């Protein structure tokens, strides 16, 4: 099912490369893999590949190569990072440049971090309210 918020249709030769930091704790990595699967299904993206900067596989080079192997001519690199820190400004930029050099026939576009964004503000408020309610309920039950 396509999202009602979908504004741009992705051609079949455009890949989404989701990039997270990576963790030694596999369930944290599994979250990104599940997100990639959900987005591919929901948005109808034919090439959606999760990858990691470090500590987990596939790394960015392997993820980018997988996009190309699956027929991508354009790769949209979506950082699953909250802010414009060193990893985004230095490491992900370098990874994009390395992929572009390795696959000169493919366009690689690195996107911005997830924040700041009003949707994240709303999420923080919702979580804080849930925690306050939970703490209040637990305190009253004790």
What is the domain class of 14-111 according to CATH? alpha beta
- CB-facing half-sphere around the CA of 92: CA atoms within 13 A: 27
CA 25: distance to chain centroid? 17
Regarding predicted confidence, which is higher, 30 or 6?
A: 30
The whole-chain average pLDDT of the chain stands at 92
b/e map 82-115, b = 16+ CB within 10 Å:
eeeeebbeebbeebbeebbeebeebebebeebee
User: Taking Cα atoms as reference points, which of 65, 70, 72, 35 lies closest to residue 50?
Assistant: 35
Which segment, 11-15, 51-55, 83-87, 138-142, is predicted with the most confidence on average?
51-55
Looking at per-residue pLDDT, the higher value among 106 and 136 belongs to: 106
For the chain, give percent helix, strand, coil, nearest 5: 50, 15, 35
pLDDT digits over 109-122, tens only?
999 999 999 999 99
Please indicate whether residue 85 or residue 37 has the higher confidence score (pLDDT).
37
DSSP state of 17: E
The tens digit of pLDDT for each residue in 13-68 reads 999 999 999 999 999 999 999 999 999 999 999 999 999 999 999 999 999 999 99
């Amino acid at each position: 099912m396509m999202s009602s918020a979908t504004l741009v249709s992705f051609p079949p030769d455009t890949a989404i490369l989701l990039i997270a930091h990576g963790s030694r704790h596999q369930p944290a990595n599994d979250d990104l893999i599940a997100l990639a699967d959900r987005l591919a299904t929901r948005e109808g993206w034919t090439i959606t590949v999760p990858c990691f900067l470090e500590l987990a596989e596939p790394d960015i080079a392997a993820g980018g190569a997988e996009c190309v192997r699956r027929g991508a001519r354009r790769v949209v690199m979506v950082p699953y990072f909250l802010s414009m820190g060193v990893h985004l400004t230095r490491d992900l930029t370098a990874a994009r440049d390395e992929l572009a050099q390795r696959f000169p026939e493919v366009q690689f576009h690195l996107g911005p971090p997830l924040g700041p964004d009003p949707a994240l503000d709303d999420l923080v408020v919702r979580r804080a309210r849930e925690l306050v309610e939970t703490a209040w309920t637990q305190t009253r039950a004790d």
